[in-house]
Amino acid sequence: MTSSGLVSGILLIDKPLGLTSHDVVAKTRRAAGTRKVGHAGTLDPLATGLLVLGVNSSTRLLTYVVGLDKEYEATIRLGAGTTTDDAEGEFINTAPAGAVEALEPAAIHAALAGLTGAVLQRPSSVSAIKVDGRRAYARVRLGETVVLDARPVTIAALDLLASRPAADANGAAVLDLDVHVTCSSGTYIRAIARDLGEALGVGGHLTALRRTRIGPFGVDRAQTIESLDPARDLLKPAEVAAELFTVAHLDAQQSADLRNGKKIPIDGPAQTTIAAVDPEGSLIGLFEVKNGVARVLVNFPADEGSIT
């Protein structure tokens, strides 16, 4: 598929297992016929679920999507910790014989409760956080020991959905927990697995992860990369803005003035991002109200076409 003129909007993709977020962006660029495609928050190759992509000028909206709260479904394996806090890493500790079998449901629920709320979380050492100019995961791959500083995050919900006794590749007893997580941006689900294992004294790591929601966008609205049709699936900038912000519907003169950079008098709550929409339903830009005047935060071009 190719682009006729410039096209802008948001695409919701259900990333499959094995692909990187960059792989999905590359495939979307080819499908949409444009190089300007970005995403709001990566997913590891072993993770699946929702990726929010911006096409052309709508990449400017991604700044406002990245920081939204998120939901995940994950599987945590209790019984061993790994260097990466997930199944790709090497084992660094294993539970003593009989420790996993001795875990009581009440202890597991208490440990989960202890990880919820406003907490300080130490990111996984294989995160993309930079340490002295280099990504933490790159330092780990070079054999360095990386311990990152704890950061404040909010884990609003950490619910146990199911538990299954199992055995690892060496025949040792493990316990797989399926959990549902609602959390703030910047939360590492791998770190939750690690911290839960440490709290219970048996070690833990992540074996499966699926992102099901970012802000108002659920994975149930997403397309697979194989079935993606940008002409059909692109969410218009104004539609997306209406899900993220208060909307101000401007008349033709106000729309023209705002597009030309003029300050227009307007009513609205201070310190609130407002989406300006013209009479044709196109997104003009985002603004804040200061002293009764619109202060533009970002504008969007008015001449974007469609994918054919």
Residues 132-177: pLDDT tens digits? Answer: 667 766 666 666 676 778 899 999 999 999 999 999 988 999 999 9
**Crossing angle for the helix pair 105-114 and 189-200, to the nearest 10 degrees:** 130
Of 62, 181, 48, 253, the closest CA to residue 284 belongs to: 253
Structure-derived torsion over alpha carbons of residues 184, 190, 195, 196, reported in degrees to the nearest 10: 100
How many CA atoms lie less than 13 Å away from 137 in the CB half-sphere? 12
Residues 220-261: pLDDT tens digits? Answer: 999 999 999 998 999 999 999 999 999 999 999 999 999 988
Pairing of strands 223-224, 9-15: parallel
pLDDT for residue 163 = 98
Q: Is 287 exposed, middle or buried (0-12, 13-18, 19+ CB in 10 A)?
A: buried
CATH 3.30.2350.10: does it fit domain 70-214?
yes
Q: What residues does each domain of the chain span?
A: 9-57+216-236, 70-214, 245-299
State the CB neighbour count (10 A cutoff) for residue 137: 16
pTM for the predicted model, two decimal places: 0.91
pLDDT for residue 1 = 37
Residues 21-36: pLDDT tens digits? Answer: 999 999 999 999 999 9
70-214 against 245-299: fold identical: no
What CATH superfamily is the domain 245-299? PUA domain (2.30.130.10)
Q: Where are the alpha helices (DSSP H) in the chain?
A: 21-32, 62-66, 105-114, 136-141, 189-200, 230-233, 237-244, 252-259
Give the residue numbers annotated as catalytic, written as ranges: 44
Whole-angstrom CA distances from 307 to 6, 31, 60, 293 are: 8, 10, 19, 36
Phi/psi at 160 (nearest 5 deg)? -85, 120
Structure tokens at 231: 């002409």
- d(Cα 204, Cα 69) in Å, to the nearest integer? 24
pLDDT at 126 over 90: no
pLDDT at 196 over 90: yes
| One-letter amino acid of 66 | V
